[in-house]
Amino acid sequence: MRLLVGIALKHLLFRKRQSLVSLLGIVLGVAFFLAIAALMQGSEKDFITRLVDNAPHITMSDEYRTPRKQPVEEVFPRAALELRNVQPLTETRGIRGYEQILSDLHRTPGTRAAAVLTGQALVSYAGRDFSVVLNGMNPEEIKGITTIENYMKQGSIDDLIIDPDGIVIGTELAKRLSLQMGDNITIVASTGQVRTFKILGLFRTGRSDYDERQTYVSLKRVQALLNRPNRANSIIIKLDDPNDAYQVAEQLEERYLYKSVSWQEASEDLLSTLTIRNIIMYTVVSTVLIVAAFGIYNVISTVVMEKHRDIAILKSMGFHGRDVQRIFLGEGLILGLLGCVMGIPLGAAIMAGLMQIRFNPPGASEPVNMPMDWSWPQFAIAAAFAIGAATVASLLPARKAARVKPVDILRGGT
Amino acid sequence: MSEVVIRTEKVTRILSGEVPVTLVRDVDVEIKRSEFVVISGPSGSGKSSLLYLLGLLDTPTSGKIWLMGQDTSSFDEDQLADVRLSKIGFVFQFHFLLPEFSALENVMLPMRRLNKLPESEVEDRARSLLVDLGLEKQLNNLPKQLSGGQSQRVAIARALANDPSIILADEPTGNLDTASSKNVEGILRELSEKHGRAVMVVTHEARLAENADRTIRIVDGRVQA
């Protein structure tokens, strides 16, 4: 094998300029493949991290995926009966026995949960009504589950523990209503109940709609305002391992019957969009390497054509067809390997350069660096693709070389 | 009695095509160890075709070739290549040296492929073959830095690298000046006389035929009695 590699190297070194051009193609191909793939994967991971971190991993709501079976259906499962317009047992919507479910979840290792009662309300100001969403929750529970505390500009969610008559609102709402910390705000619930809250905190997520409409209040106060005592309309759950969310949601739904949606299910369309985006991205960046592979194919084909006589001599000496094939495959492989060795550092340098670029994404309050995925699979994929492309590109001319019949060439003379 | 190294029986080679071309027909020859045989005949008579058949570079359409007593008709491509590597040395009209390799490396190639000697011995043997042929100053020259005669001597050294029993030369002096031709002739003659190799040379040169142990004359693909 050393001999064959030696011959392959000699061939490449003898045609320095052609070899360098095809090598440059692979180097640039690997570098751009790596940089673009790392950027796309980085943005995807960043997106998923934001998705996973900012939202609950599982949301249990006061709905059923399929209507609950009526007792008569359970007693006569095979009966020819049809029940229509079944009235709910209770008129008060919400998760019944949510406290029991919560305490079960609190006992489950690796799980954090909080009950939330959400409802619409109005804020009247200067003759205008603003619609807001009241999020009733227990501040000590909510902190580990949502990231709202990270977006606090003034005050804290914890302040609601000390003063349950407080409210936390977004900076956009505060701006529209010309309110400040410590001011009072009057809320009219959909039940007609009116209550005044003191502003204990201001948050800014960067999403103007959220900052204008969402408010955080103590759960007990919202239950009273909405006239739904001992009810929560959702339980939000965070898991130590977000990847378990799908299975855990299924188990919870099976156990408590309430619709439990994992972050994967909620973002199914987004995740499938990301998959499509990945396919498009890898197709585009692979094209760069495929073009580079054509360069290798071109060089090796030319070498094979020019070397017909030498191939004939090698075979007349006693080299096997597969030896000749290995020589030319080796040439492709050497170009592919060298392309990786030189292209990966260049790609890493481009990645490092791209990471220095800071920009303001829509809705973000602070500039962020370009997200980049530095994980080893990116490097492995780029290297494997380059070596694979180089090998495939050299395979065809190598096979052609192996089939050369020495006598056909020798008969032709020079 | 000298050992027969090559024997053919009714060897025929026809090139297929719209109009089949007969290169050699019903050739029966026998070459013994230490024999210096010249194959002569007019251009296009089938001399080189016979040489390629005897050197197992081509396979007969019909008939059999025995090499060192072994019937080669059932050999596959790899077996034929292995026999060529260890038992046959070729010298062509054009030296056909690999242009990327120095004279020394060209001679080392067949030995490296055979892989029977350690690398140091391979180099020593290649060096010694080239020195014996008067190329001690051209060891590291590339083929383009050698004259025609020097290149042909490197090609002979390469043919001798694996110490083959048979040397087949196709017009080895056809492209050389008179002095170089005489030199190459002398070397080939010596290979059979002193080293006991069977040497077969295809040539037009009358002088070479005169000095041969035997001449096989081919006309229209047939051996003339």
| A390, A296 contact by CB (below 8 A) | yes
Closest-CA residue of A relative to B76 is A320
What fold characterizes domain B4-224?
A: Rossmann fold (3.40.50)
Question: pLDDT tens across B184-218, in order?
Answer: 888 888 888 888 889 999 988 778 888 888 999 99
Considering only CB atoms, which chain A residues are within 8 Å of B96? 309-310, 312-313
Rounded CA gap, A408 and A312, in Å? 8
- A35 and A95 within one domain: no
Q: Which residues of B touch A410 (CB under 8 A)?
A: 48, 52, 57, 92, 170
Q: Specify the residue for token string 């190799």.
A: B197
pLDDT value, residue A414: 47
End-to-end CA distance of chain B: 23
In-domain check, residue A264: no
Residue of A nearest to B47 (CA): A411
Ordered by start, the domain boundaries in chain B are 4-224
pLDDT at A136: 93
pLDDT digits (tens, 9 = 90+) for A360-388: 766 565 677 888 888 898 899 889 988 88
Q: How many domains does chain A have?
A: 2
Alpha-carbon distance B88 to B160, whole Å? 9
Rounded to an integer, what distance in angstroms lies between the CA atom of residue B112 and that of residue B107?
9
Residue of A nearest to B109 (CA): A3
Q: Are residues A309 and A200 in the same domain?
A: no
Residues of A whose CB is below 8 A from B45: none
Lowest mean pLDDT among A59-73, A96-110, A326-340, B67-81: A59-73
Residues of A with Cβ-Cβ distance to B100 under 8 angstroms: 10-11, 13-14
Asked if the Cβ–Cβ distance from A320 to B81 is below 8 Å, we say yes
**pLDDT range class, residue B96, cuts 50, 70, 90:** confident
Q: What is the pLDDT of residue A37?
A: 87
**Is residue B1 pLDDT above 60, yes or no?**
no
Residues A9 and A93 in one domain: no
One domain for residues A279 and A400: yes
Measured from the Cβ of residue A50, the count of other Cβ atoms closer than 10 Å reads 12
Task: Say yes or no for a CB contact (<8 Å) between A319 and B81.
Answer: yes
Residue B112 near chain A (CB below 8 Å): yes
State the pLDDT at residue A21: 86
Q: Which stretch of DSSP H or E encloses residue A14? A: helix A2-14
- Domain's final residue, options A233, A258, A283: A258
pLDDT above 50: residue A342: yes
CA–CA distance, B89 with B167 (Å, rounded to integer): 5
Q: Which residues touch A122 (CB under 8 Å, ≥6 apart)?
A: A129, A130, A131, A132, A187, A188
Q: What is the pLDDT of residues B51-63, one digit of tens each?
A: 999 999 999 999 9
Give chain A positions within 8 Å (CB) of B84.
316-318
B82: closest CA of chain A, how far (Å): 6
Alpha-carbon gap, residue B143 to B106, rounded angstroms: 9
> Do A311 and A345 belong together in one domain?
yes
pLDDT for A150-180, tens place per residue?
Answer: 889 999 999 999 998 999 999 999 988 888 9
Considering A210, A235, A258, which residue would you say is the last residue of a domain? A258
Assembly ipTM? 0.90
Average pLDDT, chain B: 89
What is the band of A85 on the pLDDT scale with cuts at 50, 70, 90?
Answer: confident
**A369 vs chain B: nearest CA distance in angstroms?**
51
B85 vs B110, B153, B162, B166, CA distance in Å? 7, 19, 7, 11
Of A6-15, A159-168, A296-305, B29-38, give the lowest mean pLDDT range: A296-305
Tell me: the pLDDT tens digits for A211-266?
Answer: 899 999 999 999 999 888 888 989 999 998 888 999 999 999 999 889 999 988 98
Q: State the pLDDT at residue A348.
A: 94
Average pLDDT over residues A108-131: 87
Which residue from B218, B163, B221 is spatially nearest to B191, judged by alpha carbons?
A: B163
B165 has a chain A CB within 8 A of its CB: no
Q: Find the residue in B nearest to A403 (Cα).
A: B77
Query: Among A258, A291, A317, where does a domain finish?
Result: A258
Alpha-carbon distance A414 to nearest alpha carbon in chain B (angstroms):
7
- Mean pLDDT (chain A, rounded): 86
Interface contact B47, partner A, CB < 8 A: no
**Do A46 and A99 share a domain, yes or no?**
no
Verify that A228 and A276 share a domain, yes or no. Answer: no
- Report the percent of chain A where pLDDT is more than 70: 96
A126-143 pLDDT, tens digit per residue, is: 677 889 999 999 988 888
Residues A6 and A330: their CA atoms lie apart, in Å, by 9
Residue A196 has pLDDT above 70, yes or no: yes
Long-range contacts of B21-25 (CB under 8 A, 24+ apart): B22/B221, B23/B49, B23/B50, B23/B221, B24/B49, B24/B50, B24/B53, B24/B218, B24/B221, B24/B222, B25/B221, B25/B222
User: What is the band of A319 on the pLDDT scale with cuts at 50, 70, 90?
Assistant: very high
Same domain for A301 and A214? no
In order, the DSSP letters of A34-66 are: HHHHHHHHHHHHHHHHHHHHHS-SEEEES--SS
CA-nearest residue of chain A to B94? A414
Query: Is the CB of A10 less than 8 angstroms away from the CB of B100?
Result: yes
Find the closest chain A residue to B81 by CA distance: A318
Q: What's the CA gap between A118 and B179, in Å, rounded?
A: 108
- A83 is a domain residue: no
For A137, A142, B62, the CA distances from A161, given in Å and listed in that order, are 10, 12, 104
Q: C-alpha A364: how far from its chain's center? A: 18
Range of the domain at A252: 64-78+89-258
- In chain A, helix, strand, coil percent, each to 5? 55, 20, 25
Look at residue A203 in the predicted model and tell me its pLDDT. 92
- Those residues with Cβ within 8 angstroms of residue A367's Cβ, 6 or more apart along the chain or in another chain: A358, A359, A360
Predicted confidence at residue A44, as pLDDT, reads: 85
* Percentage above 90 pLDDT, chain A: 31
- Count other C-beta atoms under 10 Å from residue B119's C-beta: 12
**A320 with A365, same domain?**
yes
Rounded to an integer, the average pLDDT of B157-182 is 85
Would you place residue A92 in the very low, low, confident or very high pLDDT band (cuts 50, 70, 90)? low
> In B8-47, which positions are buried (b, 16+ CB within 10 angstroms) versus exposed (e)?
bbebbbeeeeeeeebbbbebebebbebbbbbbbbeeebbb
Residue from the list B92, B110, B170 with its beta carbon closest to the beta carbon of A318: B110
Q: Which residues on chain A place their C-beta less than 8 Å from a C-beta of chain B?
A: 3, 10-11, 13-14, 309-310, 312-321, 323, 406-407, 410-411, 413-414
Among A9-13, A58-62, A91-95, B34-38, the range scoring the smallest mean pLDDT is A91-95
Domain shared by A251 and A364, yes or no: no
Q: Do A93 and A185 sit in the same domain of this protein?
A: yes
